Amino acid sequence: MSGLQSMSQALADAVESVGRSVVRVEARRGRPGSGLIWSADGTILTADHILERDEDIHVGFADGTVVEAAVAGRDATTDVAVLRPAAATDVKASNLTPAVWASLDGVRVGHLVLAVSRPGRTVRARLGIIAALGERWRAPSGAELDHYVQPDVDVSWGFSGGALVDGDGKVLGMTTTGLLDRTPLAIPGTTTRAVVSQLLAEGRVRRGFLGIGSHPVKLPAAVREKVGQRAGLIVVAVEPGSPAEQGGLTLGDVLVAIDGAPVRHPGEVAALLGGHAVGKPLAVRILRAGVLQEMTVTVGER
């Protein structure tokens, strides 16, 4: 067998292997998406943005079996949702082949990958490469992914919620176009595991909030030298009754740091709050009328 035939066979085997774990998710009119079997009890991982309804959701398995499913939890910030069959007895044990997840250790830009989906009865696959790979990344939504994984794969409708897999048919991440202007990304297993565990426990991901609207602004030269940063966040809105209002923040204040960490973009605020337990008091450093001040704001829950 030639090298090309060998590679072709290996790719087909990888698609066949992971295809048993890829399901169809019908939760929007005329445009099914995909999902991944998360565990042997029938739990399904999918992309939140393909769930345009919370009821009348159906999941189609590799053998053609279709069952009704219920939303166990969803998180728009990370674009992760979890479904469970409405009646566990409707799902045959032979259908429940959980996806095998791979570590990103050793994965490099240029490695071949496959995007595998099931928007219809049969599995679909597209071949590409890892176009970009980085460490921790914050999405515009405020979601923090432990790795930034961008495949150079054309993923049209139906691929979100499916699998990005390596040559062995192991899942590198859940494919989605819902995090960055329709750009295909893969949410790594370490991130999905953390989110899924919270969704299964509470049905949502608890996140802290201050209750402000803010916009990046350059700091005066004298302040830059003192705080060691060139920009901060000017407060342009404060929600009535919010933690920010209760803590004394007001319009025109410029946020410089939260809990000792510099803030220069609204996404940095969301990331800092997401790592703290709701109800925890945080030190907030602001610039008010040209004077640096410190105050304490207790984190609320969104």
Task: Give me the tens of pLDDT residue by residue for the chain, a chain 302 residues long.
Answer: 667 888 899 999 999 999 999 999 999 888 999 999 999 989 999 999 999 998 999 999 998 999 999 999 999 989 999 999 886 556 766 678 999 999 999 999 999 999 999 999 999 999 999 999 998 888 888 788 999 999 998 877 789 999 999 988 999 999 999 999 889 999 999 999 999 999 999 898 888 889 999 999 999 888 888 888 999 999 999 999 999 999 999 999 999 999 999 999 887 887 778 655 678 899 999 999 989 999 999 998 87
75 in Cβ contact with 94 (< 8 Å): no
Other C-beta atoms closer than 10 Å to the C-beta of 228 total: 10
- What is the CATH class of 1-205? mainly beta
Domain residue ranges of the chain, discontinuous segments joined by +:
1-205, 208-301
The letter for the amino acid at 196 is V
Q: Is 256 exposed, middle or buried (0-12, 13-18, 19+ CB in 10 A)?
A: buried
CATH number 2.30.42.10 is the correct assignment for the domain at 208-301:
yes
Sign for the pseudo-dihedral over CA of 162, 167, 171, 176: negative
Euclidean distance between CA atoms 101 and 119, whole angstroms: 21
Identify residue 280 by its one-letter amino acid code: K
